[in-house]
């Protein structure tokens, strides 16, 4: 039997051998499951949506409004403060590996649950509107002192100005979702490090806390299940030891079918597509 010394091993094969070890290890069903917990932050974009408000004297729609997110620049006093680090748009998640075979490609299947804390805010300015805000009801309720913003609209301009109107899910357009994830190692760059790609399919409920100003009257609603979402994502990760840094792009659909409006007297509904860019850091460990 030929005997090879360390000097005769081709160093260029080291990373290939490391990748093969990762693939074989991921296909062993007798290993303890792996777990992860991760935290990070996101930016979001939304497609235009019709925002439909209904309530006493109100059947009114803002037409094709493109909302924005509410990003916060990095601030150590916020992001590194245990009492404030949940204020920015964040991603929190935990997952457990599944004993599903992955074939020659290796990697792992995961089942995960978590919370994407997004934010959603309508822009102020001249918007388009259709529907009715009953002038008599609005005047009697003390909302309006004139009829400039009440009556019947048919794709007409509407002055959605900050002093009188505001609509935002600023304490959270919270996407509480379960997901199936699949990761695939691509390159092992050291004994402890690897580069790979990840995909995900998920679905969940939308937990919203809506901040509203309606004819100058501010209503800060409590958290409520307000709709549902569906999404998929793809990303690139770097593993080193127990740590995983993941950059991911997620896209999906959200339907706010039971949104709060004017406390218990009304409803707001809207549905839209979204995309989310996130960067998260995970700690991965093994255990039964």
* DSSP string computed for the chain: -----GGGS-GGGHHHHHHHHHHHHHT-TTSPPEEEEEEEEEEEEE--EEEEEEETTEEEEEEEE--B-------HHHHT-TTTTTSS-EEEEEEEEE----GGG--EEEEEEEEEEEEEEPPPEEEEEEEEE-HHHHHHTTS-SSSTT-EEEEEEEEEE-TTTEEEEEEEEEEEEEEEEEEEEEEEE-SSSEEEEEEEEEEEEEEEE--EEEETTEEEEPPPEEEEEEEEEEEEEEEEETTEEEEEEEEEEEEEEEEEEETTTTEEEEEEEEEEEEEEEEEEEEE--
Give the whole-angstrom CA distance, residue 140 versus residue 56.
12
Give the whole-angstrom CA distance, residue 237 versus residue 218.
43
Enumerate the domain spans of the chain.
Answer: 6-46+67-120+166-286
Of 96, 92, 88, 65, nearest in space to 158 by CA:
65
Cβ atoms of 104 and 127 closer than 8 Å: no
Give the whole-angstrom CA distance, residue 22 versus residue 187.
10
Backbone angles phi, psi at 251, to 5 degrees: -140, 150
Of 119, 123, 132, 113, nearest in space to 174 by CA:
119
Q: Bridge-partner residues for 113, per DSSP?
A: 94, 178
- Written as six digits, the tokens of 91 are 């991603």
Give the whole-angstrom CA distance, residue 211 versus residue 36.
34
Q: What is the pLDDT of residue 7?
A: 43
Cβ atoms of 119 and 69 closer than 8 Å: yes
CA 85, 88, 91, 92 torsion: positive or negative? positive
Mean pLDDT by 10 residues, the chain (288 residues): 45 51 50 91 98 93 97 91 92 94 83 97 96 87 74 94 92 96 93 95 96 88 92 98 97 96 86 98 89
Q: What is the pLDDT of residue 165?
A: 93
6-46+67-120+166-286 placed in CATH 2.40.160.20? yes
Q: What is the pLDDT of residue 105?
A: 73
DSSP secondary structure code for residue 221 in this structure:
P
């Amino acid at each position: 039997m030929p005997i090879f010394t360390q000097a005769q091993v081709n160093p260029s094969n080291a990373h290939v051998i490391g990748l093969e070890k990762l693939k074989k290890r991921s296909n062993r069903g007798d290993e303890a499951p792996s777990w992860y917990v991760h935290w990070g932050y996101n930016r979001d974009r939304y497609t235009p949506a019709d925002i439909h408000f209904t309530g006493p004297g109100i059947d009114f729609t803002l037409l094709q409004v493109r909302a924005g997110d509410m990003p916060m620049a990095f601030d150590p006093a916020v992001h590194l403060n245990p009492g404030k680090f949940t204020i920015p748009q964040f991603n929190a998640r935990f997952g457990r590996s599944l004993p599903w075979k992955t074939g020659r490609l290796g990697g792992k299947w995961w089942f995960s649950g978590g919370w994407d804390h997004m934010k959603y805010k309508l822009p102020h300015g001249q918007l388009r509107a259709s529907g009715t805000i009953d002038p008599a009801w609005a005047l009697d309720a003390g909302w309006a002192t004139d009829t400039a913003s009440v009556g019947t609209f048919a794709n007409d301009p509407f002055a959605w100005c900050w002093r009188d109107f505001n609509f935002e899910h600023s304490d959270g357009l919270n996407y509480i979702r379960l997901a199936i994830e699949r990761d695939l190692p691509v390159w092992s760059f050291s004994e402890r490090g690897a580069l790979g790609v990840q995909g995900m399919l998920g679905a969940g409920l939308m937990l919203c806390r809506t901040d509203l100003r309606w004819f100058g009257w501010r209503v800060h609603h409590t958290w409520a299940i307000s709709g549902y979402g569906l999404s998929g994502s793809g990303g690139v990760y770097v593993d080193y030891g127990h740590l995983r840094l993941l950059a991911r792009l997620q896209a999906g659909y959200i339907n706010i079918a039971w949104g709060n409006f004017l406390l218990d007297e009304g409803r707001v509904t809207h549905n839209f597509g979204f995309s989310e860019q996130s960067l998260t850091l995970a700690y991965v460990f093994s255990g039964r």
